[in-house]
Amino acid sequence: MTPILPLPLGEGRGEGLLLMPVETHSKTVLFLCTGNYYRSRFAEMLFNHLAAQQAMAWRADSRGLDPDPYNIGPISRHTLEAARKLGILPAEPPRYPIRAAAIDFQGCHHIVAVKEAEHRSLLERMFPTIVERVEFWHVHDLDCAGPEEAIPQLEQLVHALIDRLTMAQAVVDDDLKRYD
C-alpha cells in the first residue's frame, strides 16, 4: 500500500490538506547490460515485482552501456514473454532503452552488470570510478545463449539478490532494536 502524504493546499488554493500518494522506496538497484533491451529489463521487472510482493524498501531501474538503435521496438519480446509467464505486467507503453549516464550511479545503492565479460571493459572505459561498486554476473546475451537458458539464470540471480538484501536489512533491523 502506498502511503499518503498530507500537503498544505497553500495560500489562494483553499483550506485544508491535499492528500498525495508518495513512494517510500529508500534504496535502488541499478541493472546494467549492453542494450537495456533484454537482460537488464527483465532483471528490473522481476526485481520490482518481487520487492513489491515482499514490501521491501527497494526498487530497481536499468540502463544500457551501448544500446543498439536497430533493436525492434522498446523491449525484447523474450523479456515480455518471460515476464508475462510470471504474472508480471510491464508498464504501458513500455519505455525505450536508456543509455547509462554518470548521474544514474549517484542515487543507486547496488549496481549489477549482467555479464562481466561484456560489461567490465565498457564500465572501465566509460565510468571507471564506479567499477569497484559493481556486482558482476555471468548471463549471456542472445548471441551466446537463448532465452530458455538466460531467463532462468536471471530469475535465480534476482531471487538470490532479493534474499541477500532482505537478510542484510534484517541484520540492520536487529541491530537497531538492540539500541532502542
Q: Which of 45, 47, 49, 50 has the alpha carbon at shortest distance from 75? A: 45
Mean pLDDT in consecutive groups of 10 residues from the start of the chain, 180 residues = 39 41 70 97 97 94 95 95 94 93 95 98 98 98 96 98 89 61
pLDDT of residue 92: 86
Q: Which of 155, 162, 129, 141 has the alpha carbon at shortest distance from 29? A: 162
pLDDT of residue 180: 63
Q: Which of 63, 50, 77 has the alpha carbon at shortest distance from 119? A: 63
Q: What is the pTM of this model?
A: 0.82
pLDDT of residue 13: 39
Residue 63 backbone phi and psi in degrees, to 5: -145, 165
502511503: which residue's cell? 3
- Cβ pair 46, 52 in contact under 8 A: no
pLDDT of residue 26: 83
CA distance 89 to 67: 23
CA distance 66 to 110: 20
> Cα 67 to chain center, whole Å?
17
Question: Which residues 6+ apart lie within 8 Å of 157 measured at CB?
Answer: 43, 137, 139
SS3 at position 154: helix
Residue 137 backbone phi and psi in degrees, to 5: -105, 180
CA distance 51 to 31: 15
pLDDT of residue 175: 53
Instruction: For 6-47, write each residue's pLDDT tens digit.
Output: 334 344 434 444 333 444 558 999 999 999 999 999 999 999
Residues in the chain: 180
pLDDT of residue 177: 63
pLDDT of residue 47: 98
Which domains are assigned to the chain? 26-174 (3.40.50.2300)
Write out the three cell numbers for 12: 489562494
pLDDT of residue 17: 40
